[in-house]
Amino acid sequence: MRWIWIDKFIEFQPGVRAKAIKNVSLAEEHLHDHYPGYPNMPNSLITEGIAQTGGVLVGETTQFTKRVVLAKIPKVSFYRPVVAGETLTYTVEIEMLMDEGAMVSATSQVDGELQAELEMVYAYLGDEHVNPNLFQPQDFLLHLRQLGLFDRLPNLEELGWNDWPGLQSAEEVSWKNGKHHAS
Amino acid sequence: MPTKEEIFEKVRTALEDALGVDEEDVTPEASLIGDLEAESIDFLDIIFRLEKAFDIKIPRGELFPDNLLNDPNYVVDGKFTDEGLQQVRERMPFADLEEFSKNPEVQNFANLFTVQMICRYVESKLAAS
């Protein structure tokens, strides 16, 4: 199973803003260790979910041709604990895009109440790094579909996604005619 | 064109935010690596904040030249050659090279990156725009 810490994108404005939600449930085992008798969602995993939301937002700006990694969290504040039954809404906005990476600002909210505020810096991995692919294209595509990203994107052609090198091969392997052939 | 004081104030804010240091630590003489403990990824963060604060574009390698140290013509036995030193002068006209040129060892190179150097760089960028 993939390390996925968001459930669904609910808004996606390419190059501008992404919103995703995360439902917190007692069925999640990690809550029982954090902490016994007082289960609450670890802030580290909230940070991971926000980083994933922003990572897709940043990655989309280059049609996922660059490998985006979270490099630094210059600022972070948490204001309240999150317990089972609550839904977190992560909002990430791009502050700046550069050749080397991107900076974003982000919030986490529960029912409109501010739960966390962050700044994040993403860097693009250079060619000198060993593993050329962070994901297999078809796995990544499946992952984005599961998160409902395509329901939030009105027009793939307009975004230049049809030119995304990974998309075609991924489509051929897994999604042609709605059939899933990926191994 | 902002005054030198205004530039310094904005540079200081950028460094406070990027490096999590206190206002009083960010003096003109403070070196980014030695005194303010900047690491490699912080330089990207600093560039983000300077571009935003001053509405300027900082091309890769212009403020923090990254390929001088690897060139065998410029560095021999851990020391900058005359040619290397000349390169540093040309690439970093905003740096104070007086002390460094007396003993241009690679290990002293990082000391060139001071708060004052960033301020001078920003001044030159704003003057040219």
For domain A8-178, say whether CATH 3.10.129.10 is its number: yes
Count Cβ neighbours within 10 Å for each residue of A132-168 and write b for 16 or more, e otherwise. eeebebbebbbebeebbbeebbeeeeebebeebebbe
Whether residues A72 and B48 touch (CB distance < 8 A) is answered with no
Question: Rg (Cα) of chain B, in Å, rounded?
Answer: 15
> Token pair for residue A162?
């049809």
Q: A99 to chain B: nearest residue by CA?
A: B60
Complex-level ipTM beyond the 0.95 threshold? no
Structure tokens given for A84: 């089972």
Whether the Cβ atoms of residue A180 and residue A145 lie closer than 8 Å to each other: no
Q: Do A123 and B42 touch (CB under 8 A)?
A: no
Partner-chain contact A96 B20, CB within 8 Å: no
Kindly name the residue from A32, A34, A143, A181 that is annotated as catalytic: A34
Q: Which residues of A touch B18 (CB under 8 A)?
A: 74
- Picking from A1, A5, A15, A18, the residue whose alpha carbon sits closest to that of residue A106 is A18
Per-residue pLDDT band for A103 (boundaries 50, 70, 90) equals very high
Instruction: Locate the chain A residue with the closest alpha carbon to B51.
Output: A96
Place of tokens 């994933």: A52
Task: Return the H-helix or E-strand segment holding A151.
Answer: helix A149-152
Beta carbons of B88 and B71 less than 8 angstroms apart:
no
Quick one: CA torsion of B102, B34, B38, A98, rounded to 10 degrees?
Answer: -10
| Cis? peptide before A90, omega within 30° of 0 | no
pLDDT in tens, A130-174: 666 777 777 888 888 889 888 887 666 666 666 666 666 666 655
What gap in Å lies between CA A44 and CA B111, rounded to an integer? 35
Question: What is d(CA A139, CA A25) in angstroms, rounded to the nearest whole number?
Answer: 26
pLDDT tens digit sequence for A11-62:
999 999 999 999 999 999 999 999 999 999 999 999 999 999 999 999 999 8
Closest chain B C-alpha to A75 CA, distance in angstroms: 8
DSSP code per residue over B81-100: -HHHHHHHHHH-TTS--HHH
> Considering only A3-7, A76-80, B65-69, B80-84, which range has the smallest mean pLDDT?
B65-69
Q: What are phi and psi of B10, to 5 degrees?
A: -70, -40
User: Per the CB < 8 Å rule, is B45 touching A72?
Assistant: yes
Domain regions of chain A by residue span: 8-178
Cβ distance of B60 and A101 shorter than 8 Å: no
User: Is residue B115 within 8 Å of residue B126, measured between CB atoms?
Assistant: no
Per-residue pLDDT of chain B (129 residues; tens, 9 = 90+): 899 999 999 999 999 999 999 999 999 999 999 999 999 889 999 999 999 999 999 998 899 987 888 889 999 999 999 999 999 999 999 999 999 999 999 999 999 999 999 999 999 999 998
Is A34 an active-site residue? yes
Candidates A68, A73, A98: best to mutate against B (most CBs of B within 10 A) is A98
A99 touches chain B (CB under 8 A): yes
**Domains of chain B from N-terminus onward:** 1-64+113-129 (1.10.1200.10), 65-112 (no CATH)
Say what the pLDDT of residue A129 is. Answer: 62
A123 touches chain B (CB under 8 A): yes
Q: Which amino acid, residue A73?
A: I
